[in-house]
Amino acid sequence: MGLESALGEGYITTKLDALIGWARKNSLWPMPMGLSCCAIELMSAGDPRHDISRYGMEVMRFSPRQSDVMIVAGTVTYKMAHVVRKIYDQMAEPRWVIAMGACASSGGMFRSYSVVQGIDQFLPVDVFTAGCPPRPENLFNALIELQKKVGTSSVLDYRDRKEPIILS
Amino acid sequence: MSETKPTAGDFFDLPVNTSHLPPKEKRSKLLQALLDMDPNLSFDDPLENDMVLNMGPSHPATHGVLRILLRLDGETIINAMPELGYLHRGYEKIAENETYHEFITHTDRLDYLQPLHNNVAYILAVEKLLGIEAPPRAQYIRTMLSELARVSSHLVAFGVMAMDVGAMTLLLWCFREREKIHDIFDIVVGARFTTSFTRIGGIAQDIQDDGIAAIKAFLDQFPERQNEGERLLNRNRIFFDRCRHTGVISGEEALAIGLTGPNLRASGVALDLRRDAPYLVYDQLDFDVITETEGDSLARYYVRLREMEESVKIIRQCLEKLPQGSVHAHEPKKVLPRKERIYTRMEELIHDFMIVNFGVNPPVGEVYHAVESAKGQLGFSIVSRGEGHPWRLKIRSPSFCNLQALPRLLKGHLLSDILAILGSLDPVMGEADK
């Protein structure tokens, strides 16, 4: 109390927010939910040329317990949607979701009986990425936008999501 | 039930030999507790302790979204059942509602490790149905680029198989080479990954000098890079021990199941559609059909390695023999006219309007055409009723057929051998689930 009144309103919590936000945004560990074609471009993003580790994200963990951001890369069918949701539920909070590519964002070119028309029907999505599949550079753009979002969100109410970022 | 059948007690109720142990009063508490333990397990039949384990559909080593149900006895696989359909996108139904040109983009996403090969396979079936043929220059460019696609697919098979058995470096090296192939596609095709390059009666655009130079530059350095990668594995004891004698299948069995491609050739059957039913310009090129006799994971790995060398050989010959001329067949009612001519000439404008709006309307009939893709025999069967879109389109996808061998290959192996076997089979789920 004394400290708060001496330093000004919300001094400690805002500084803590900034510190934790900075730490979080530079060590986002992805959960690569590689489903189809986009998964190959996701693998390309980790190759020596594109080098995803520049963003502190090379630690691809296939265990949902160890990851912060789920990259849904590829076509989600109704059969697979249950599995994707189950894996998302297993991830520890705070957690974020990137919809990589047209299929994950909107069903893409597959207007058919078996394909979910956009993963926002069953997952809260933070960033939508265009492309079929997006080039690795496009994925990095999504990651950087997500980093900005993570860095500026409050520690306590990160669940209070802003509007999803739509990259076109 | 006979009285003489041994029970668990007969095996475990033997007197424990304690002569080498200290006398009872000098034994430690822990040792005494161990000796006092009841050795009789409560199993009625100790052999009946098998377990059902689920692998996938989200598993790093299942090459996508394959799910395998395993029945295990300890670590030994008694039975395995692959479950497919997690990536079923309804291609065959989509094809019935699209014109022949529109479906080319869908073939990219079938086997997404080698999109260009699928374009070529599909367009050859459509051309067979229409009764037309692309000019020689287009044929050579198609051959050349589909061999490049084969190399890029084998590179992933090579790298991912190595990663599955524990060698991470090779995957990164293979992707470095794959990026170079993507660059070539970027120059020649205009897209690095999903190419959609072929058109009915030709290809989207002619190859330019910078494209040829890029291919030559790639070929000059690739054999050395491949050799570098091989040296990581070819004398690697761990890799050998995990791959040799795992997933052995004989030639007869492989044929009966319907294996094709490198997986069949690794069992000693020299079946290669490029030689046995030549399409494109393969009859004018000199290459070998690679076979191995062992039929195990290691043999499949070797076949893919040698095939990359053959592909490089084929591309070199194509570059030498590349003829001059047009890359579009002269069939105004079937081949899309060039864009620059549509804007200036009436005839081309009419043809463009008719082809785009109503399709190419092939005659009534049914065709099947298969090519030797990197995974095996990739075939398209089209039934036409004279309309602009197919009445039925069936895809014979090699990955689907190759996966049928999985229960047979896995039976009797250890749990950890799944990775070596599945990696050597090299399925792609986009193609298997369709």
- Please give, rounded to a whole number of angstroms, the shortest distance from the CA of B17 to a CA of chain A: 47
Task: Enter the tokens of residue B236.
Answer: 């690697």
CATH code at B107? 1.10.645.10
Nearest to B58 among A87, A109, A132 (CB): A87
Residue of B97, B81, B117 whose CA lies nearest to B403: B81
Judge contact between B75 and B420, C-beta under 8 A: no
The pLDDT of residue B16 is 62
For residue B347, is it within any domain? yes
Question: Contact B112/A37, CB-based, under 8 Å?
Answer: yes
Least confident of B39-53, B259-273, B302-316: B39-53
CATH code at A103? 3.40.50.12280
For residue B366, is it within any domain? yes
Q: Please name every residue paired with A77 in a beta bridge, in sequence order, or none if there are none.
A: A115
The pLDDT of residue A162 is 62
For residue A8, is it within any domain? no
The pLDDT of residue B14 is 57
Which residue range is the domain that position A80 belongs to? Answer: 30-167
For residue A20, is it within any domain? no
Torsion angle of alpha carbons B176, B179, B181, B186, nearest 10°?
-160
For residue B72, is it within any domain? no
For residue A21, is it within any domain? no
For residue B361, is it within any domain? yes
For residue B33, is it within any domain? no
For residue B58, is it within any domain? no
Q: What is the pLDDT of residues B253-302, one digit of tens each?
A: 899 998 998 999 999 888 888 888 888 889 898 888 988 888 888 999 99
- The ipTM (two decimal places) reads 0.81
Best A59, A60, A77, A86 residue to mutate vs chain B (most B CBs within 10 Å):
A77
Q: What is the pLDDT of residues B139-163, one digit of tens each?
A: 999 999 999 999 999 999 888 888 8
How many structural domains comprise chain A? 1
The pLDDT of residue B81 is 84
Positions in chain A short of pLDDT 50: 1
Least confident of B151-160, B329-338, B368-377: B329-338
Q: Which of the four pLDDT bands, split at 50, 70 and 90, describes residue B167?
A: confident
Residue ranges in chain A assigned as alpha helix (H) = 2-7, 11-25, 37-45, 78-90, 101-106, 136-152
Other CB atoms within 10 A of residue B325 CB: 10
Which pTM does this prediction carry? 0.83
What is the percentage of chain B residues whose pLDDT exceeds 90? 24
Q: With 70 as the cut, is the pLDDT of residue B22 above it?
A: yes
Question: Contact B176/A49, CB-based, under 8 Å?
Answer: yes
The pLDDT of residue A37 is 86
Other CB atoms within 10 A of residue B366 CB: 11
Question: Contact B64/A39, CB-based, under 8 Å?
Answer: yes
- Please give, rounded to a whole number of angstroms, the shortest distance from the CA of A97 to a CA of chain B: 17
Question: Contact B193/A41, CB-based, under 8 Å?
Answer: yes
Other CB atoms within 10 A of residue B42 CB: 6
Average pLDDT, chain A: 82
Interface of A with B (CB under 8 A): 33-37, 39-41, 43-44, 46-49, 62, 74-75, 77, 79-80, 83-84, 87, 109-110, 112-115, 132-133, 135
Question: Contact B105/A87, CB-based, under 8 Å?
Answer: no
Residue of A nearest to B92 (CA): A112
Q: What is the pLDDT of residues B382-425, one digit of tens each?
A: 999 988 889 999 999 999 999 888 888 888 888 888 888 888 88
For residue A115, is it within any domain? yes
Q: With 80 as the cut, is the pLDDT of residue B29 above it?
A: no
For residue A10, is it within any domain? no
For residue A14, is it within any domain? no
Residue of B nearest to A41 (CA): B193
The pLDDT of residue A48 is 85
For residue B9, is it within any domain? no
Least confident of A157-166, B96-105, B194-203: A157-166
Residue of B nearest to A77 (CA): B87
Instruction: Name chain B contacts of A62, Cβ cutoff 8 Å.
Output: 58-60
Residue of B117, B121, B153, B112 whose CA lies nearest to B307: B153
For residue A1, is it within any domain? no
For residue A25, is it within any domain? no
Question: Contact A36/B430, CB-based, under 8 Å?
Answer: yes
How many structural domains comprise chain B? 1
For residue B388, is it within any domain? yes
Buried b or exposed e, range B89-126, using 16+ CB within 10 angstroms: bbbeebbeebbbbbbbbbbbbbbbbbbbbbbbbbbbbb
Which residue range is the domain that position B344 belongs to? Answer: 81-433
